[in-house]
Amino acid sequence: MPAPLEPEREIVSGDWRYNRRQQVSSVRCDCGQTVYKDGLVHARLVDVATGTALCRSCKRMVKIPIALAP
Position 67 scores a pLDDT of: 74
Q: What's the pTM?
A: 0.83
Q: What tens digit of pLDDT does each residue of 3-26 get? A: 565 678 899 999 999 999 999 999
Q: What percent of the chain has pLDDT over 90?
A: 76
Beta-sheet strands, E only, within 1-70: 11-12, 15-18, 24-28, 34-37, 40-41, 46-47, 52-54, 61-63
- Rounded to a whole number of angstroms, the CA Rg of the chain reads 13
Instruction: Give me the phi and psi of 56, to 5 degrees please.
Output: -70, -25
Rounded CA gap, 16 and 12, in Å? 11
Q: What tens digit of pLDDT does each residue of 29-65 get? A: 999 999 999 999 999 999 988 999 999 999 999 999 9
